[in-house]
Structure 1
Amino acid sequence: MSGFKSLFKQTFIYGLATVLPRMLSFILVPLYTNPEVLSVEEYGRVSFIFAYFVLFNVVLAYGMETAFFRFFNKEDNQEKVTSTSAISLIISSFALLGIAFLFRHQISLLININLKYLNLVFIILLFDALVIIPFSWLRATARPMRYAVIKIFNVAVNLGLSIFFLLYLKDLAEGNSFFNSIYEADFEISYIFLSNVIASGLTLLLLLPFYNKIKFKFDIALWKKMMRYAMPVLIAGIAYSVNETFDRILLEKLLPADVAEKQIGMYSACYKLAVFMTLFATAFRLGIEPYFFSHSKSVNPQKNYAKILEYFIALGSIILLVVVVFADLLKPYIILSESYYEAMWILPFILLANFCLGIYHNLSVWYKITDRTKFGAYISIFGAVITLILNYILIPIIGFKGSAIATLSAYALMMLVSFYLGKKYYPIPYNLKKISLYLSISILFSFIFFYNYRENYIIGITMLIVFLGIVILLEKKQLKQVLKS
């Protein structure tokens, strides 16, 4: 029992530390969409640069974090694994970003990011790369509290500095020589990245004791084995980053220059409203993945896996419908300017896309517990190809609406492919009738309400009550068991 208690505690702490950084970008939306802070175009520029962040971070990590966990638990000499992976990332980070700095003018022109922002981006990327193994080591050696505290500290510093620089510094500068010396007009975007630089730098400072503890010994034979393991992870990571953020990059490339940044800004702000589905899916996955592995050798685990997906879809369907019905009540508190509201059209598509991604992660149990993880890379690459093709076709025709449709199409097809392959390699008796019922009704109600009866809360709440009634009716046996326990 104590083992399960420890597992639950660590899962909760790691989950909190994982979810909070994701919440940061959502928490900052009201600040960034305040018309007195950033224009729609400026927010679009920030979102465009952050899209490249995701891709660059994957490349700089090149799967070494995953390889570290694998070999730390596999090799007898854990210290050798730690020092080899740390040295690998130190050398590669300084080398790659050193080369990037030498060619910064060419890179700036190639990816269309102003040099003053790009220099800050390089610093953040370097700091973030240097903390990958220290953070991994904290997890591998069961130090969840220290891991979580430092992660939360990073979020708090970033958030606090962003608020200070964007809301208060200008007023403070008017009556104080010190603040006046650090204030610069029309510097808002740079302040955003400067906040990231300071937060990442302080995080690295807190983790520097890790580098004092390890013996800097590099094992070439071990490193080669780790790199062979890491390369498929890198490919899958790049594919995932394409699915996750490349639509902003393609919007910038494929739309006319005079409208691109505004469309990116509107799209990115309204995309954030799907965070409720994203956080639900992430928290569910973090909590349930240990269960998948710990019960893989129990008697008939497939039956329990099927139930887990059923519960996930029931809860996710409720979240989908609730967010769609009340989105227009929520949006003024999250997106402060009406200039962004044109892109609200995308919300049901992005919510459903993230729901499909969550279902895909639940379905992925088949390749994780049968050691067929290469299929995860194949499916991610397939999704990336769909994302690229549909964005290239649809963006020139319908702008950000095309990106939303492409995102939903990619994740829905990834979900279906995983389900089909799972039936072949590791059959799980999913209750397809009940799952299909929950999905079809919630999707139908969501799209009918949002595109035909939006802000008619009598109809919306009625639809929600009807759907909740269906779920309660079909799950009453399980609900009784939960209430009794």
Structure 2
Amino acid sequence: MLVSVRSKYQSLPKQVKASIWFLLCSFLQKGISMITTPIFTRLLSTSQYGQFNVFNSWLSIVTIVVSLNLCYGVYTQGLIKFDKDRAEYSSSLQGLNLLLVLIWTVIYIFSSSFWNQLFSLTTVQMLAMLLMVWTSSVFNFWAAEQRVVLRYKALVVVTVLVSLAKPIVGMILVVNADDKVTARIVGLALVEVIGYTGMFILQMRRGKRFYSKRFWIHAVLFNLPLVPHYLSQIVLSSADRIMIAKMVSSESAGIYSLAYSLSQIMILFNTALSQTLSPWIYQKIKDKRAHDIAGVAYGALILIATVNIILIAFAPEAVAIFAPKAYYDAKWIIPPVATSVFFMFAYDLFAKFEFYYERTSLIMLASTIGAVLNIALNYLLIPIFGYYVAGYVTLLCYILYAIFHYIFMNQICRSELGTQPYNTKLLLGITSVFMAISLLFLVSYTNVLLRYMLILIIIIIGIVKRKYLMQIIGLMVKMRKQRR
């Protein structure tokens, strides 16, 4: 049987093999971290776990401000647009990213006390944060290029080694340190520096261009208007933890962070599918064949809905496995946050058209509205209903976020392509069924028998519809073969 599987794998086109490995890389990169969560929730107190996750929230925000998120948005689009100068384009953006990090590091050094007080972090934590801004960007530049040119072997090796090293080094440092939060942060920074610096050197040697006026201007003009958009995304996904820590307590932020971390498992599917679909979708838009996208998009949405329902169904058990009793209230936060993951993926499908046609003002408008609403509602409702409400505020904002991007996408497609790529009724049908099932499971948390009956019904439906589900998965894997 193993020989048969191997022979079938060997006969697959390179595009299909690459798709399989890119999906596995995305899971490995975050999955190993998730598997080790039960260890760190026991090595760190709820307060320390909350502090570490607040650091991660600040890291996400600082990364955007410092690096302008050049490794996303403009870079993936540029790898397709400037395919004849790909090596030079990559090295010049690596150069621009390094320059931005160095400038901000100098700014920090000359006013460190101000920034330390603002973020409630130490100097060591802040310097580690700036270092991780650079290393993570270096990896994302290199990894994006590997995906576009379908080179997966090196990406797999680096992903596995770094993903394994992070928790191992982290555990060693945390166990032997008095300041366990700083030890966890320094461990991550150390592994990334060792694991990712070589990629910077590699792309710089190949491209031989640190500065390119053409590419720097294009990248800055493209991504600078997107900074509010990227910040808004982080606000939607991270501001609640920061606000809970400030308005309630670090312990509450720790409990909420666990629920969010468990939901991150589902974001792995989002990231994996999005990274696999992005080059293909851009190519279809470029070829004026947007109608080819719909079938793949519907299947992807159903797949994302299915995996999120699985998490919601077993949320109480997941919390019990990943953390001690002090975290058990996190189960009530998982359903709204996991449901939000579905709308994150939906928004990305719609925003691809905005990115391709460089309608950055529309992207910024939708994102800013969602972020402002998120902060305002959290500020008003957390003192009244407690930190649980932050999960439902996040869900509401992501629903509105997806709606705005859907409206803007249709406007762009009507003017540029003369058609709409998706069927509104079909999208509403998929979304309604998903949300109804999620709500049923949330209600069933107080009745174990009812919840397991619902799980049994879902399993039966899954068995009956297994061929359709396998077709969806098969379509995701084979999708790259259609790339022109």
TM-score band w.r.t. shorter chain? 0.7 to 0.9
**Which of 318, 323, 327 in structure 1 is aligned with 2:311?**
323
**Aligned ranges 1:126-137 → 2 under 5 Å:** 126-129=134-137, 131=139, 133-135=141-143
Secondary structure class of the residue paired with 2:333 = helix
Written as runs of structure 1 = structure 2, the 5 A alignment for 1:52-451 is 52-66=58-72, 67-71=74-78, 73-75=80-82, 77-78=85-86, 80-129=88-137, 131=139, 133-135=141-143, 138=146, 143-167=151-175, 183-184=176-177, 186-207=178-199, 209-210=201-202, 211-216=204-209, 218-255=211-248, 260-296=249-285, 301-302=290-291, 304-335=292-323, 337-368=324-355, 372=359, 374-426=361-413, 427-430=420-423, 432=425, 435-451=427-443
Cα distance change on mapping 1:220 and 1:321 into 2, 3 Å = closer
Read off the aligned partner of 1:414 and give its amino acid letter: Y
The CA deviation at 1:156 is 1.6
Please tell me whether the aligned partners of residues 120 and 197 of structure 1 are also in contact (alpha carbons under 8 angstroms).
Answer: yes
Deviations 1:266-306 (A, max 9, x none): 1001222223432233333233334434444779753x544
Q: Which amino acid aligns with 2:326?
A: S
Does the 8 Å CA contact 2:319/2:331 hold for their aligned counterparts? no
TM-score (norm 1): 0.82
- The answer for the alignment partner of 1:170 in structure 2 is none
Aligned length: 457
Tell me the CA shift for residue 482 of structure 1: 8.2
Distance change >3 Å, CA 166–CA 232, structure 1 → 2 = same
Q: Aligned equivalents of 1:128 and 1:65: distance in 2?
A: 9
Preserved CA contact (<8 Å) 2:87 2:206? no
Assess if the C-alpha contact under 8 Å between 2:92 and 2:207 holds in 1. no
Q: Which residue does 2:47 correspond to in 1? A: 41
Any residues of structure 2 matched to 1:22-37 within 5 Å, and which? 22-34=30-42, 37=43
Per-residue CA deviation, residues 138-189 of structure 1 (Å, 9 max, x unaligned), is: 556654322332233222211211233345xxxxxxxxxxxxxxx44x2321
Residue number among 453, 459, 462 corresponding to 2:453 in the alignment: 462
Structure 1: which amino acid aligns with 2:29? P
Question: Where do 5+ consecutive residues of structure 2 fail to align?
Answer: 1-9, 414-419, 476-484
- 1:33 partner SS: helix
Distance in 2 between the 1:44 and 1:204 partners? Answer: 27
Letter in 2 for 1:215: K
CA shift at 1:410, angstroms? 1.1
Larger Rg computed on CA atoms: 1
Alpha carbons 1:157, 1:199 under 8 Å: kept: yes
- Counterparts of 2:434 and 2:312, CA distance in 1: 10
Structure 1 residues 380-435: Cα deviation after superposition (integer angstroms, max 9, x where no partner): 22221222221221222233223212210111111222333344443245272x65
2:479 is matched with none
Partners of 1:380 and 1:129 lie apart in 2 by 22
Cα deviation for residue 249 of structure 1 reads: 1.6
- Equivalent residue for 1:176? none
Contact 2:25/2:156 (<8 A) preserved: yes
Q: CA deviation at 1:222?
A: 4.2
Deviation at residue 87 of structure 1 after TM alignment: 2.7
- Residues 461 and 311 (structure 1), Cα distance of their counterparts in 2 relative to 1, 3 Å cut: farther
- Name whichever of 89-98 and 48-57 sits farther off: 89-98
8 A contact 1:155–1:199 mirrored in 2: no
CA distance in 2, matches of 1:315, 1:79: 35
Deviations 1:95-154 (A, max 9, x none): 211221232222111121233433433343344455555555555665432233223322
- Runs of 5+ unmatched residues, structure 1: 168-182
For residue 23 of structure 2, what is the aligned residue in structure 1? 15
Q: CA deviation at 1:53?
A: 0.8
Q: Is contact 2:138–2:199 with CA below 8 Å preserved after alignment?
A: no
- Report the 3-state secondary structure (helix = DSSP H, G, I; strand = E; otherwise coil) of the residue aligned with 1:400: coil
Residues of 1 paired with 2:47 and 2:247: CA distance?
16
Alpha-carbon spacing, 1:63–1:270, altered in 2? closer, same or farther (3 Å): closer
**Distance in 2 between residues matched to 1:301 and 1:91, nearest whole Å:** 38
Question: TM-score by structure 2 length?
Answer: 0.82
Distance in 2 (CA, whole Å) between partners of 1:131 and 1:267 is: 29
Q: What is the alpha-carbon distance in structure 2 between the residues aligned to residue 412 and residue 483 of structure 1?
A: 25
Shift of the 235–12 alpha-carbon distance from structure 1 to 2, 3 Å rule, reads farther
Is contact 1:19-1:279 (8 Å) kept?
Answer: yes
Could you tell me how far apart the structure 2 residues matched to 1:198 and 1:267 are? 27
Residues 71 and 301 of structure 1: CA distance in aligned 2, closer, same or farther (over 3 Å): closer
Structure 2 CA distance for partners of 1:93 and 1:291, relative to 1, 3 Å: closer
Residues 409 and 462 (structure 1), Cα distance of their counterparts in 2 relative to 1, 3 Å cut:
same
Secondary structure at 2:446 match in 1: coil
Sort the Cα spacing of 1:9 and 1:368 in 2 relative to 1 into closer, same or farther, 3 A. Answer: farther
Give yes or no for contact 2:148–2:279 (8 Å, CA) kept in 1.
no
CA contact (8 A) 1:328 1:455 kept: no
Q: 2:13 aligns with which of 5, 10, 14?
A: 5
**1:32, CA displacement in angstroms?**
1.8
Whole-angstrom CA distance in 2 between matches of 1:357 and 1:286: 14
State the distance in 2 between where 1:390 and 1:346 align: 16
SS in 2 for 1:389: helix
